[in-house]
Structure 1
Amino acid sequence: MYAIVSATGKAGYATAVSLRKAGMHARAIVRNESKAAPLREIGCETAIADLFDPETQPSRVLAISDYGAHVKNDIGMPTICRGLEERLTRIGGHKIFLQSAEHIQGWERVFPAVKESGTLQTIHYPVDNPLPTISAPDLGPIAARLLLRPLDKSGVDVVHAEGPQRYSAADVANALGQHLGRSIETSIVPRAQWEEVFERVVKPSLAELLIKANDAQNQGGLVDIGPDSNEVCFGTTTLFDALGQSLMSL
C-alpha cells in the first residue's frame, strides 16, 4: 500500500495514476474530502491522516522538494522545503527527497498578459540563460518508479528531477509564440518592480517566498543540483508540449 500526501495536486495525482497503472494499491491522503472523487475514480482509497503520527509511520517516505533545498541561508520556497526535509529525517525508515526543478506550469500566471500585450515579462536574466525546469505531471511517473524500487535500505536519498532539457525565458516566449501564432517578445522586469508584479497574481506571503527564490536563481548555479544528490531523473515532456497543454486547459 502506498500513501500519497497532497494527492489532489498535479504531481501527487500523477503519482497516484502511475502507481495504479502499475497495479499497486494507493491511498490518497487529502485535506478536503470533497476533492477525493477523481482519486476514487482511478481506484485509490482516500483518507485524512497525519504523516507525523508515530503509530502510522511508513517504511518509506518520498517527499517532493525543491531545487536549492540544500542551500543553508533563506532563499524562500526552497528553504521551506529544506525545513520539511529536516523534519522528515527525524522519522524512521527510508526517506527519498525528490527535489524538483521549477514547474513549467508556473508560467500559466502570465498567459493572460502575454496574450494581450504580445510581451513575456520575466524576472529571469539574462533571458537566454537556460534553467532547470520540468512539467509537473512528469514528477508522477518518476516518483512512482522510486517508490516501487525494492525496500532494501534506510537513511536518506536525494534525487533531483528536471525535464528533458533546460529552457530559458526566451525559449518560453518562442514556444508561446508558436502556439499563439504571433511573435512574442521578452522584457526583463526591473528588480524594484518584482513585489508589485508578483502581488498581482499571488498573495503577498507567497510573493515574498518567490522573490527570494528568484533572487537566488539569478545568482547562477545556486538553485541547481546540490552536492548531496544521489541521482538525477529526467521527465519526458518538452517545454512546447507542456505550454500547449496549459493553454488548452485555460
Structure 2
Amino acid sequence: MKRIALLIFTLALAVTRLSAYTAGEAADILAENAETATGVCPFELDIASTITSFSYDRDENIFSAMVLVNTDEFPLWMFLRDEGDSYAKIVMTRYILGSERRFLLKNIIDAGAMFSFCFYVDSGDSISYGLNLDELKSLYDYHISDSERWAMTLEAMVLILNCDTPQKIDDLLTLSGYEWGDNCVIINYMLEDQDMPTLLCDIHEHSEMIKSDTVSQIEADDLKEILMAAGANLVIRYRSALTGDSCDIVVSPDEF
C-alpha cells in the first residue's frame, strides 16, 4: 500500500500544466510520467502479476506498463497468450480509471497516444494488449465508484482462478470453475453421486461448516478482502453431474 500511495503522489507531481499541450510538450510529459512511475516500481497489479516499470515510446506513441506474470502459482501465461484480451482490458481499464490517475489518462489522450500493458515472463516471452485513443477518450468521462473498481478486480480475479480449473478434489467432487455476476463470485463444484437427495441434505446440514472452511481457504489470497471491499457475496454451488440439481450456500460480506 505504501508503494501505491507513493506512486500516486509522485505521479501527481509530474503533472506540470492542465492547459492544452502541443504534441511535443504532451510527449515530454508522458516521458516524464513514465520515468517517475518507474522509480517507485515494482508494485502488485493483482494476485498473479506485478508492474515492474513504465515506458513511453515516442516513435510508436505508446505509453506502456511492463507487467511480470507470476507463473509459479497461477497458470495465467497460457491464458494471456491464447485468449487474454478480456483480462487485459479489465485490468487496464481498472488501472487507468483510478481517480488518482485521471491526470495520466488525460496526458495520454493529449498526446494522442495508446495505452498498453506488456505482459512478460522470466523466460523473456511477452505479449501486449492495448487501449487505443478512441477507447481512452470514451473512458475519460466515465467515473466509477470504489465498489465498481473492486468489482472489476473480482471479474479479473475470476478469469485468473479459472486458469487452474477444473480441479478434481476427490472421487466424488470436482471444482469445475468460478463465475462472476449479479454482485457475487460463484465457486462451482460438480458432484458425481447416485444418491443426490441424501448428499444435498448433508450439504444443507453442514452449510455453516462449509462456509467456515471456504472463508478460511480464501483468506490465503486476497479474495476475501476484495469481496468485502466490493460488497459482494460468495456463493458455493454444488451441482449434480447426473441430474443437474444444485444447492447454493451463500456467504454475505458481513459473514467474512
Greater strand fraction, Structure 1 or Structure 2: 2
Say which structure, 1 or 2, has more relative contact order (CA 8 Å, 6+ apart): 1
Structure with higher Rg: it is 2
TM-score interval (norm. to shorter): under 0.3
User: What TM-score do you get using the length of structure 1 for normalisation?
Assistant: 0.27
User: What TM-score do you get using the length of structure 2 for normalisation?
Assistant: 0.27
